[in-house]
Structure 1
């Protein structure tokens, strides 16, 4: 990360942590510093493999970003929301419906949540090559730091994790690294995301769900932990459990692409966002992500050469010949999400077709 004199921006003060007795998911903590040696990677690969076939989420610590650098990135993450006028935001809205791209702003009330209630979530997305798109004036002086942050996530976090995913399938270490190139065509991106409090009427109509249960369509989601409790995962026993905040840690989960690559072994875990506990209501919730996707031209087929998959078996969502590329899958998922009120089954599950595959939402 840059160490020169940095542009002055307002400091974002996060909400205090919750003291509510929440039922938290019991997630594995991965010490990424161990990934620097072959012996350490072999140990971590087992832990990651076990996490991926059970919870589907895990924490990462000792990743190399200091608490001071972490706080600075959250200061930067708030700029697109607190320092940019509404008319400028509207001029930089992403072409989500037509292009299937999140590059730019997604403004509030774009997604339908439930019972006619639309979202109160705003986010701003930047390609890993931050110079490909126009950005808000307030963000331009910060682009060198954002680009450095993207590179840090890609090379110091994503690539080491991809090696662990490969080792867990007994594949060559670089199997997944080789299809996640920083300079290739694709939409791996940094996301700054802010959740705003809703009215009591909206909470009642949506049963307190802010973002309905879903899987990510990327290969790996890197979420920088923040203190407002709201993220929940659907545990293997069918119960929703909260994700605990760990200071300067990262929350990792696999998405659809990794599930496809692993023949269904590494599940894209269902997760949602709900109203925070009582002692955190009224606060905004600022989130910082790196969504990693394979290169656009990569076909999302299982690595059937994996000895692990040959022993375990492969669950296919489509025949290999019909498999979409990453570009097809991301555009298909992105363009239709939250655009219609879908019919629900008795258990609240909604279904829609994307590239011939049934995609489920849990509401």
Structure 2
């Protein structure tokens, strides 16, 4: 039975060459890998889940105070059945919140990276929400170092391209499914837009990844593992050496459908002005460049947000 591997990132410091080779092989095959040994404390993760669950339990009219109509959900709250997977007829069965990077308001990116909203009803929301944003941002940087080495780039290649990236922490609530045969799924089959996604809490069933052979492979994690997958921007930049793999969240076919599901993905984005042209290291006779037009990461993001009906 095929299985997406889980690798201990501490081996980057103790057994680097083998770790980089195994990680690179996992991403080339699946576009997904579990990362353990990351050092993000259980207290931070549990505390963040607790504040997010308390927010989603608030009355709808309270949550809607934090919904910025017309903003594409870039910050604050997005209600149920708004986001729709590309080419899907049915909206996803979820509501979510977006925490973005805190940047100086005189930054050149301030016009495309708005300030965060923080719900006053949940006092610890900001400290746990931004604490988890920061921890996952740092872990993503470590994963990108290994990914850079695997394709013969300098270890720190991605760092000045992501340090003010338009990254997003997205706590998601999938409510209990109370009726049978709903046409919607919790999250329709899709690929992520960004560089890499780090998912905390894939312990609940439902997440599935599409293999090269066209089979849906369930992913659940054990222990402290965080699922990290490649997004479309990194696929484009690496000329598909690192594939952005289709995945979905299916409705459980058992009593768990009647329970809520929570998950917290962190979407690590490049800086808005990074140009996503295929890297020379990833262009070969067997893998010629697949793109002949240039696009910045911000232009790419806007194009995709329109496709999924967020703007």
- TM-score between the two structures when normalised by the length of structure 2: 0.88
Cα deviation, residue 273, structure 1: 1.0
Check the 8 A contact 1:45/1:168 in 2, yes or no: yes
Check the 8 A contact 1:190/1:290 in 2, yes or no: yes
**Distance change >3 Å, CA 100–CA 324, structure 1 → 2:** farther
Cα deviation, residue 138, structure 1: 2.5
Check the 8 A contact 1:100/1:330 in 2, yes or no: no
Structure 2: tracts of 5 or more residues without a match? 104-113
Listed as ranges, the matches of 1:181-200 within 5 Å are: 181=163, 184=164, 186-200=165-179
1:127 to 100, 121, 124: 100
CA RMSD of aligned residues (A): 2.5
Q: 2-side partners of 1:312 and 1:255: how far apart?
A: 22
> Secondary structure, in 3 states, of the residue corresponding to 1:290?
strand
Q: Deviations over 1:226-271 (max 9, x none)?
A: 4320111111110111112313210010000110111111000000
Check the 8 A contact 1:120/1:197 in 2, yes or no: no
1:80 to 38, 55, 62: 55
Q: 1-side partners of 2:283 and 2:123: how far apart?
A: 46
Cα deviation, residue 166, structure 1: 0.5
**More strand per residue: 1 or 2?**
1
**Aligned equivalent of 2:67:** 93
**Aligned equivalent of 1:65:** 40
Check the 8 A contact 2:7/2:35 in 1, yes or no: yes
Check the 8 A contact 1:79/1:138 in 2, yes or no: no
After alignment, is 290-299 or 130-139 more displaced? Answer: 130-139
Cα deviation, residue 194, structure 1: 0.7
Listed as ranges, the matches of 1:334-349 within 5 Å are: 334-338=305-309
**Aligned equivalent of 1:47:** 22
Q: 2-side partners of 1:158 and 1:149: how far apart?
A: 12
Cα deviation, residue 202, structure 1: 4.7
Listed as ranges, the matches of 1:146-185 within 5 Å are: 146-155=129-138, 157-181=139-163, 184=164
**Aligned equivalent of 1:331:** 302
After alignment, is 98-107 or 25-34 more displaced? Answer: 98-107
Q: 2-side partners of 1:164 and 1:112: how far apart?
A: 33
- TM-score between the two structures when normalised by the length of structure 1: 0.76
Listed as ranges, the matches of 1:136-155 within 5 Å are: 136-155=119-138
**Distance change >3 Å, CA 45–CA 94, structure 1 → 2:** farther
> Secondary structure, in 3 states, of the residue corresponding to 1:138?
coil
